[in-house]
Chain A
Amino acid sequence: MNAGPDRGLPGEHESPIPPRARLRASNLELAYGDRTVVRDLDLDIPEGSVTAIIGPNGCGKSTLLRAFGRLLRPRKGTVLLDGRPIHAIARRQVAELVGFLPQSPVAPEGITVADLVARGRHPHQSWYRRWSSDDESAVERALRRTGMYELAERPMEELSGRQRQRAWIAMTLAQETGLLLLDEPTTHLDLAHQIDVLDLVEELHAETNRTVVMVLHELSLAARYATRLVAMKDGRVVAQGTPRDVLTEDMLLDVFALRARIRHDDETGSIVVVPLGRRPPRRTLIVSPADPRRRDSDPQGLGLGPLTAAAPSARGRPTATADGGAVGWGESARPAALACGWATAEQSNRTCEGGGWTRRQAWAQPGFASGQLPGRGRVSWVRTVRIAKTRMTMRPGWNCRARQAG
């Protein structure tokens, strides 16, 4: 193998086609001591895919990855590697098929990059055969592929975070496995360096069709670089599929309790997650008379008039009262004959803002009051507000429903 120019064209340093591996978890239950982290998990990692596992902290992503790397024995169920239970395969043999990079790997103090990468050859060596020419060329290939060749003799301590991460990836590359498990390969890196590392992963995948499974926290990056996303919550797979299918606003709210907007960038074809943060969700309040015959009643006269006329300062700011939590709307905090009540203690924390009420035929809305009033629509007053921690109680004679705004 000739020593080509550093980081040459893809394929130039291509390793011999590594053995194929494919993972399947079935009915998997993983636990640390008494604490069950993953339960009843079924998941397939197709050959040649780049799978990103996403999910909130503590949802079992890393634990699952450790089980895939044969580092954690399942309490129930199995992990199949190429159809064979992974724990029935010798650890050494697994290490020839599966490369694993932990989240914060610890290197021996003072180790040089070359030595670190050379350790990646461990599964291919034995106590008497510690440095074959295969080892040498694999290490050199890994160093060149990651652009670490010039830094090979430098101690790890002297490197930047990005270089260090590249050195670790070089170590797993030197292992020459068809399957790479990367636990948060971008932690502690700035955005440009995260892209740098993920570009490298993508290239590795493109060159040799390696199967990659990685845990990622950056959702937009996960969508950009993975061919498949797996969303986990509380030790279970909630959604899996293409990034476009998995990365939805509903999923984010469900899995991360994160309100976010999903934007599709036409120019790059990538999906962008725009988090909305802690501002409360907008909801639509629908207020309607409980008695259908009172359909003509107008909340205007009951203190729920359109707020267009209200003073800007008062608009949308609810006024909490101490007596059972009634709230008035509008500039004068009119007696809340009809408005929402707030029944919990932390009234001062609440915000409620939005536009004026609009009249709407409630029956026109699916799922609302249908059948209650055959033939005749019920008049409701609808407006969209931001509410945190809603618990609505209505004055007698009126109903109020909150509905998540779309």
Chain B
Amino acid sequence: MKAVRRPRPSTAASEPATANRASLGRDGGVGGIALRVGPLSARCRPRVLLVPCVVVLALITAFIVGVAHGDVPIPALDVVRILLGGGNAVDRMIVIEFRLPRVVVGAAVGAALGLSGAIVQGIARNPLASPEILGVTSGAAVGAVSVIVLGGSYGAVGGHLARIGIPSAAIVGGLTAAAAVYLLALRGGLSGNRVLLVGIGIQALLSSLVSWLLIKASIVDAGRAIVWLTGSLNAATWDDAVAVTPALALALPAMSMLSFPFGALNFDDDTAGALGVRLDAARSMLLLTAVVLTATATAAAGPIAFVALVSPQLALRLLRTATPPLLTSALLGAALTIWADVLGRTAFGDKQLPVGILTAALGAPYLMYLLVRSGKTHGR
């Protein structure tokens, strides 16, 4: 969006714009920059504009590094050249056929998880909430693990059953579990806490179902199931990318509309209602988006830990806003996932660690660092 920086019209027009901007910090007032283009208008602080740009840079870097690293190292410049349509044929094939899907799926999955994490945390008004409490992840796990375990004996799941069966079962499982949570939590309106509690209950139920399936399974099947449960981009193909990116592409425009009531949902119900927000409708739409995003992301790469929990919190602290910022959370989720995957592939020699292990290992310390640091300065 092209935006016009405008000085606050409330201050005298004769003053130079810089003076207006400088006075914001001192005498308070309605801070931020007003962006107005035709009928479009928004208000934000410089930080809210700058941080996403930085995150986008980090994301692009991660993208290139992720494509460049591997058994056959390809220089970053060549990667850029190939992505722009040049490069030699061998490198082209390695990049387009093998490396790129992995990075694209990683970015899409990370963005989907970061976005749905921000939605759920905002609606639950609880920084510890994540889409997992909607039952999606555990539902998807039940679906995927049952296909792996029950679909064939001794690791026989392969071919179409693996390519299509596991993701489909994951999506069906995730959506079913989320529908169950929704229906059970719906009584007398959707209240944040009720969704949370019902979700935790369903999640516990489904987790025990997964455990039972794992115990029932053969060692080989159980091993495959564990890998899936950790979350991995190893098997990522263009098919996965095709599955995830449309969901994300649909979600982003929806988000630009839904982020409007989303901001007001952070108040208590009465205040939000008095501001004219249709609480249940807004919550349902937002939760539906979060569920679809999480389900497709989980279907593509398994339940990658911590991205949904940590990205919104990181974004919140970097932007210093009151509500989890949706776009920045998505961008951070994507960057975090790709960096974690790159590290998992390259930092441990021959051992390739699944991305799920690294996201937790990277995200958790950084979140703790932010908590400690902000605790010292702001008491938050």
Residue positions of A touching B, CB distance < 8 A: 1-3, 33, 66, 69-71, 91-96, 98-102, 104-115, 117-120, 122-123, 125-133, 135-137, 139-140, 143, 149-155, 157, 172, 175, 181
Asked if A131 and B41 sit within 8 Å, CB to CB, the answer is: yes
On chain B, the residues within 8 Å of A69 by CB distance are 270, 273-274
On chain B, the residues within 8 Å of A91 by CB distance are 273, 276-278
Q: Say which residue of B31, B36, B267, B277 sits within 8 Å of A114 (CB atoms).
A: B31
Closest to A139 in B: B30
Interface centre among A104, A105, A113 (most CB of B within 10 A): A105
In the complex, how many residue pairs between chain A and chain B have their CB atoms under 8 Å apart?
Answer: 156
Q: How far is A91 from B32 in the complex, measured between Cα atoms in Å?
A: 29
On chain A, the residues within 8 Å of B39 by CB distance are 128-129
Q: How far is A175 from B30 in the complex, measured between Cα atoms in Å?
A: 15
Asked if B270 and A100 sit within 8 Å, CB to CB, the answer is: yes
Beyond the given pairs A102-B270, A140-B10, 17 more chain A to chain B contacts, judged by CB atoms under 8 angstroms and listed by A's residue number, are A2-B10, A70-B273, A92-B276, A96-B276, A99-B274, A106-B267, A114-B32, A119-B275, A127-B256, A127-B259, A128-B41, A130-B42, A133-B34, A140-B30, A149-B29, A150-B28, A172-B274
A-B contact pairs, 26 of them (CB 8 A): A69-B273, A69-B274, A71-B270, A71-B274, A91-B278, A96-B276, A100-B273, A105-B267, A106-B267, A106-B271, A107-B267, A111-B266, A111-B322, A119-B267, A120-B275, A128-B39, A128-B41, A131-B43, A136-B34, A137-B10, A140-B10, A143-B28, A149-B29, A155-B378, A157-B379, A181-B274
- Interface residue B21 (Cβ < 8 Å from any Cβ of A): no
- Interface residue B90 (Cβ < 8 Å from any Cβ of A): no
Closest to B274 in A: A100
Q: Known interface pairs A94-B276, A122-B276, A152-B30. Does A133 touch B270 (Cβ–Cβ under 8 Å)? A: no
On chain B, the residues within 8 Å of A157 by CB distance are 379-380
Asked if B322 and A136 sit within 8 Å, CB to CB, the answer is: no
Asked if A125 and B260 sit within 8 Å, CB to CB, the answer is: yes
Asked if B43 and A110 sit within 8 Å, CB to CB, the answer is: no
Asked if B274 and A95 sit within 8 Å, CB to CB, the answer is: yes
Asked if A127 and B380 sit within 8 Å, CB to CB, the answer is: no
Asked if B10 and A3 sit within 8 Å, CB to CB, the answer is: yes
- Interface residue B263 (Cβ < 8 Å from any Cβ of A): yes
Please give the distance in Å from A18's CB to the nearest CB on chain B: 15
On chain B, the residues within 8 Å of A118 by CB distance are 30, 43
On chain B, the residues within 8 Å of A2 by CB distance are 10, 12
On chain B, the residues within 8 Å of A122 by CB distance are 263-264, 275-277
Interface centre among A66, A101, A129 (most CB of B within 10 A): A129
On chain B, the residues within 8 Å of A133 by CB distance are 9, 34, 36
Closest to A117 in B: B30
- Interface residue B350 (Cβ < 8 Å from any Cβ of A): no
On chain A, the residues within 8 Å of B273 by CB distance are 69-71, 91, 100
Please give the distance in Å from A82's CB to the nearest CB on chain B: 17
Q: How far is A100 from B275 in the complex, measured between Cα atoms in Å?
A: 8
Asked if A175 and B34 sit within 8 Å, CB to CB, the answer is: no
Q: How far is A145 from B253 in the complex, measured between Cα atoms in Å?
A: 38
Q: How far is A131 from B260 in the complex, measured between Cα atoms in Å?
A: 11
Interface centre among A69, A95, A100, A114 (most CB of B within 10 A): A114
Closest to A1 in B: B10
